[in-house]
Structure 1
Amino acid sequence: MARPSRAHERRADLVAAARRAVLDRGMLDLRLRDVAEEAGLSSGSVLYYFPTLTDLLREVQREAVDRFCAAREEAVRAVPDPRDRLIAMIRSGLPSGPDDELCVLLYELGTVARREASYAAEHIRLYERQVGIYAGILDTGAATGAFTLTRDAGTIARNLVALEDGYGLHITMAVPTVDTARAEALLLAAASDATGRDLSTLPDQEGDR
């Protein structure tokens, strides 16, 4: 009797090793041998399962995008009130801090999107999927009278995702310029302006006066 193939398990192990290597070394200096060392294999063994390092890292990116978006969808799925759903959505999109592994992984993989079309396509999928979640919440809120939108739902959604990305980068920098609580308050203020509904009170800070 033939032994069952372990190719799927081996590929999953390599994706996990590549994920750790990206987090440890970053994308810009990452080499195939770094992933091989992380996995305890030779470079040739890695290439047996993934023809190129790019193929392997695309799988890392795809998995990270799916995990991140699925978590956001889950965070809002059971929240009935549009206002509370929008707040939950905003809170689900920001890094928990400088060491938030999933967010850092997505930011690292996004650094090569400008030069690599395959990475760019996955980055776009991440963006559009999040925009879709936001737009659905905003449309529902407008339809039920919970929100009075100042722009169409798609425009507001795209702006909120872009703000999340920007604040997330500032949270995860080597020297963070904003923390998660402050970024959340700023996003809630922007969402309040866009929906005509007070979602939060922005805390006073000396630099804002």
Structure 2
Amino acid sequence: MARPSRASERRAELVAVARRAVVDRGVLDLRLRDIADGAGMSSGSVLYYFPSLAELLQEVQRDAVERFCDAREREASSELTPPARLRAMIGSGLPTGPDDELCVLLYELGTIARRDPAYAARHIALYERQVRCYTAILEAGAATGVFDLTDQAVTIARNLVALEDGYGLHLTQAVAPLERATAVAMLLAYARTSTRCALEDVS
């Protein structure tokens, strides 16, 4: 009897090794050899599972985008009211600091989006998925009368995601120019102004 293929398992292992390597080394200095050494394989063996380093990193990006968005959507959907869901979204969108592996990974892979359409498309999908989640929360709040929006829901949503991206990038620097609590407070301040709704602080 033929032994079952371990291809899916090996691919998952390589994605995990590549993910750690991107966080540790940075994507611009990463080599195929780094992945092979981390996995205890030859470079040729890595290429058996992924035809190129670029394709392996695309899978790392796809996995990171899914995990990040899924976690945010679960956090928001666990709350019962639009204000609570909005607070949950804001609380889940910022990195905890330079050691936040998932956020650092997304920022690192985002640097490739300037040059590679495949990475750019997934980076845009990440942005739009977050915008859709914010928009749904804002529209639900407006429909129930708890929010009095100062602009279109999608405009407010886009601004919230852009603010998260900007503050988040600062928070992942070796020396962060602001604390996470400050970034959360500034996002909440914008959310309060744009929804005309008092929102409790989140940590």
Aligned twin of 1:111: 111
Partner of 1:25: 25
Shift of 1:198: 2.1
**What code does the residue aligned with 1:181 have?**
A
**What residue number does 1:34 align with?**
34
| Structure 2 Cα separation of the partners of residues 78 and 104 of structure 1 | 25
Deviation digits for residues 97-148 of structure 1 (CA, Å, limit 9, x no counterpart): 2211100000000011011111101101110110010000000000000100
**Aligned-pair RMSD on alpha carbons?**
0.9
Give the letter aligned to residue 106 of structure 2: L
2:51 is the counterpart of 1:54: no
- Alpha-carbon distance between aligned partners in 2 of 1:19 and 1:86, rounded to the nearest angstrom: 30
Aligned partner of residue 5 in structure 2, secondary structure: coil
Within 2, Cα distance between the matches of 1:181 and 1:2? 56
> Equivalents in 1 of 2:21, 2:96: separation in Å?
21
State the TM-score, normalizing by the size of structure 1.
0.94
Q: CA deviation at 1:40?
A: 1.1
**TM-fit CA distance, 1:174:** 1.4
Matched letter for residue 88 of structure 2: A
CA shift for structure 1 position 200: 4.7
> 2:65 — aligned with what?
65
Alignment match, 1:148: 148
TM-score (norm 2): 0.97
Measured against aligned partners, the alpha-carbon deviations of 1:72-94 in whole angstroms (never above 9, x if no partner) come to 01101121111111011100000
In 2, the alpha carbon distance for the partners of 1:120 and 1:174 equals 25
Measure the CA separation in 1 of the matches of 2:24 and 2:78.
36
1:101 matched residue in structure 2? 101
Deviates more, 1:172-181 or 1:132-141: 172-181
Between the two proteins, the alignment pairs up a number of residues equal to 201
SS at match of 1:141: helix
Following superposition, the deviation at residue 172 of structure 1 comes to 0.6
**Partner Cα distance (2:108, 2:188) in 1:** 26
Distance in 2 between residues matched to 1:19 and 1:134, nearest whole Å:
28
CA distance in 2, matches of 1:176, 1:78: 31
Q: Which residue of 2 aligns with 1:135?
A: 135
- Do the aligned residues in 2 keep the contact of 1:20 with 1:38 (CA within 8 Å)? no
Q: How far apart are the structure 2 equivalents of 1:63 and 1:78? A: 22
Name the amino acid aligned to 2:125.
R
Alpha-carbon distance in structure 2 between the residues aligned to 1:194 and 1:145: 14
Aligned to 1:75: 75
Q: For residues 19-69 of structure 1, give each alpha carbon's deviation from its aligned partner in whole angstroms, at most 9, with x where no partner exists.
A: 011011001111111111111111100000000000000000000000000
Which sections of structure 1, spanning at least 5 residues, go unmatched?
202-209
Q: Is the 8 A contact 1:189 1:200 kept in 2?
A: no
The 1-side partners of 2:139 and 2:9 are apart by 42
- One-letter identity of the residue aligned with 1:166: G
Partner of 1:181: 181
Q: Equivalents in 2 of 1:168, 1:184: separation in Å?
A: 10
Q: Percent identity?
A: 68
Runs of 4+ in structure 1 off by over 3 angstroms are none
Deviation at 1:153, TM superposition (A): 0.6
User: Is 1:124 matched with 2:147?
Assistant: no
